[in-house]
Structure 1
Amino acid sequence: MTIKTFSLGGDLTIRRLGFGAMRLAMGTFDGPARDPRTGVAVLRRAVELGVNHIDTAGFYGRGAVRANELIRTALAPYRDGPVIATKVGPLPGPDGVPSGQATPGQLRSLVEADLRALGLDRLDLVYLRVGGMTGPGGESIAERFAVLAGLREEGLIRHLGVSNVDAVQFAEARTVAPVTAVQNRHSDDLGLLAECEASGIAYVPYFPLGGGRAPLDTERLAKVAARLGATAAQVRIASLLATSPSVLAIPGTGSTDHLEENLAADALVLGAEDLRELRG
């Protein structure tokens, strides 16, 4: 049986199936803004259904519609959670696409902006998101991560994470301060995942449903989904959760119907035959 919860940083118990806020404000980084009333409704429904881990970022937005403001409108004053994770590092270009990268001196202002937008005194989890839209690697992150570590010491941040990193960058960050979570695009980097599992660190695949780039209706997914009476998206989410007890899933959507479909994957039980088929 898949364990449903994870102890984030040893002091925050969260459901392993959470919610990613990127698509609340817009379908894609260069797409039009969505109706903010729909975003508020999706968030409130997510919490009603038991979600207590929401992943967001200050650069999730289009024009005046911003994910962090939607979260505050929908859920503040956050009496019993949820745990909110955010990311700093990317800087939006003129087209709104987060193609730039903050310097160490700019990180404090980004963290403070997230605190104001969300209406919080302390952020539960802040990831240093490294690089642009390409894969990880190729640069030192120690100086930037040290800035976030200092903000943690000040009490503005509870836990720290890293995103879009390779094994060398992950190790470098851990020499600076404790790392509670890694958010990478899900891949075959089983070594990094195994290290996270051994250390009690969350591994959070972004774009868990492909991000619009990878189709989900592969032959294996479709076959298992048909056998279980589920959708390909539900099987994909369930298979991620079955990968390791350290994996957290954060599928995002701007639709309450898709939200309910995604969260129903929490009740989906994949047997040994299903897992063998999915993993080829």
Structure 2
Amino acid sequence: MASPHSSAASARSGGSGLLAGRTVSRIGYGAMQLSRLRADRDAGVAILRRAVELGVDHIDTANFYGDGFVNGLIRQAIRPEDGVTVVSKVGATANPGGPRPLRLAQRPEELRAEVEANLAGLGIDQLAVNLRRADAGPGLRPDGDQVVDLDDQLAVMTALRDEGKIGAIGLSSVSLDVLRRALPVGPVCVQNAYSLVARDDEEMLELCLAEGIAWVPYFPLGGAVPGLPKVTDEPAVIAAAQAAGCTPAQIGLAWILRHAPHTLLIPGTADAGHLQVNVDAGAVELDDKTLADLDAISTRGRRGQDRT
């Protein structure tokens, strides 16, 4: 679902970066929240079309978002000529009626089944896929038969790549040790929880930079789950937003872009106004003093909270 001739190429917010061998805008779109729009499918399609109009050419999704509903929206809304790179993830599956919206699906056969489900739901033959582990960050922890060795998982992921079903392999919710062990397969991106106030993975970020791996943080503003600190509550962030004439959220996103040149953002929303604000964060400039004030904010990252 990607074309080398993106209509948005001239309007990349925040500049451009590399993902799976493609040049993309540094501000993409995380589609998870579109699952809220199950009762208004047209609104979901409209959000995706608006994202393309704003220059978004990188969408993050998963078959377990809305039990296939979100992938169906993407299939309906995104056209080959849009030049959008779609990245999905496996390692979990939808859990309708369960205590959480998903459950882990870490076994090799489950990873293969989820890749197939993503391809069918998106109506494509190949896509980039993140292996969502459960080693780090907010989220479920594996037990029983869900405790699976990384080598067994990478074996099926590389087999699927050899078969042409996976175009590129990424990692999500991983520890530094897992990333190091996975380097031989050539991961193209890492998705971990990371924000101005939760910088636990700074060493991993630096390793990604050294290895040419895109850093794609989720929860870039914190606060997405109970107990996670919020970037927008920080006095220094609020002060910077007032001085720049923008929102605290835009300051938080702009800081991440400035902090690491290989970062690609995937802020999510189901609201067109918020989508515009997120994309506009790419134009926010931080002077040296403001950047120093933000850098001085202490990190209070906490691991182990629930997430999807």
TM-score normalised by length of structure 1: 0.89
* Matching residue's letter, 1:24: L
Bigger Cα displacement from structure 2, 226-235 vs 107-116: 107-116
Matches within 5 A, 1:128-139: 128-131=131-134, 133-134=138-139
Q: Tell me if 1:181 matches 2:189.
A: yes
2:149 maps to which of 115, 125, 140: 140
Structure 2 unaligned spans of 5+: 1-12, 297-308
Q: CA deviation at 1:210?
A: 2.2
Secondary structure of the 1:61 match is coil
Q: CA deviation at 1:101?
A: 2.5
Per the alignment, residue 206 of structure 2 pairs with 194
Q: Tell me if 1:240 matches 2:256.
A: yes
Matches within 5 A, 1:24-173: 24-26=34-36, 33=38, 35-61=40-66, 66-76=69-79, 78-93=80-95, 94-95=97-98, 97-123=101-127, 125-131=128-134, 133-134=138-139, 140-173=149-182
Question: Aligned-residue CA RMSD in angstroms?
Answer: 2.1
Contact 2:28/2:59 (8 A) holds in 1: yes
Q: CA deviation at 1:199?
A: 1.0
Secondary structure of the 2:186 match is coil
TM-score normalised by length of structure 2: 0.82
* Matching residue's letter, 1:88: V
Distance 1:172 1:139 in 2: 14
Distance 1:46 1:3 in 2: 15
Task: State the identity as a percent.
Answer: 39
Q: CA deviation at 1:211?
A: 5.1
- Higher fraction of strand: 1
Q: CA deviation at 1:21?
A: 0.3
Q: CA deviation at 1:233?
A: 0.8
Contact 1:53/1:82 (8 A) holds in 2: yes
Per the alignment, residue 14 of structure 1 pairs with 24
Q: CA deviation at 1:135?
A: 7.8
Distance 1:131 1:101 in 2: 10
Distance 1:140 1:173 in 2: 12
Distance 1:276 1:136 in 2: 36
Distance 1:134 1:153 in 2: 30
Structure 1 unaligned spans of 5+: 27-31
Per the alignment, residue 220 of structure 1 pairs with 236
Q: CA deviation at 1:4?
A: 1.1
Per the alignment, residue 29 of structure 1 pairs with none
Q: CA deviation at 1:189?
A: 1.5
Bigger Cα displacement from structure 2, 197-206 vs 84-93: 84-93
Matches within 5 A, 1:196-211: 196-210=208-222
Contact 1:204/1:249 (8 A) holds in 2: yes
Contact 2:190/2:215 (8 A) holds in 1: yes
2:291 maps to which of 257, 275, 280: 275
Q: CA deviation at 1:33?
A: 4.3
Q: CA deviation at 1:107?
A: 1.5
Contact 1:25/1:34 (8 A) holds in 2: no
Per the alignment, residue 7 of structure 2 pairs with none
Contact 1:136/1:165 (8 A) holds in 2: no
Distance 1:278 1:57 in 2: 33
Q: CA deviation at 1:43?
A: 0.5
Residues 131-159 of structure 1: CA distance to partner in whole angstroms, max 9, x if unpaired? 28438899632211221111111111111
Contact 2:14/2:282 (8 A) holds in 1: no
Tell me: CA distance 1:247–1:92, structure 2 relative to 1, closer, same or farther (3 Å). Answer: same
Per the alignment, residue 273 of structure 2 pairs with 257
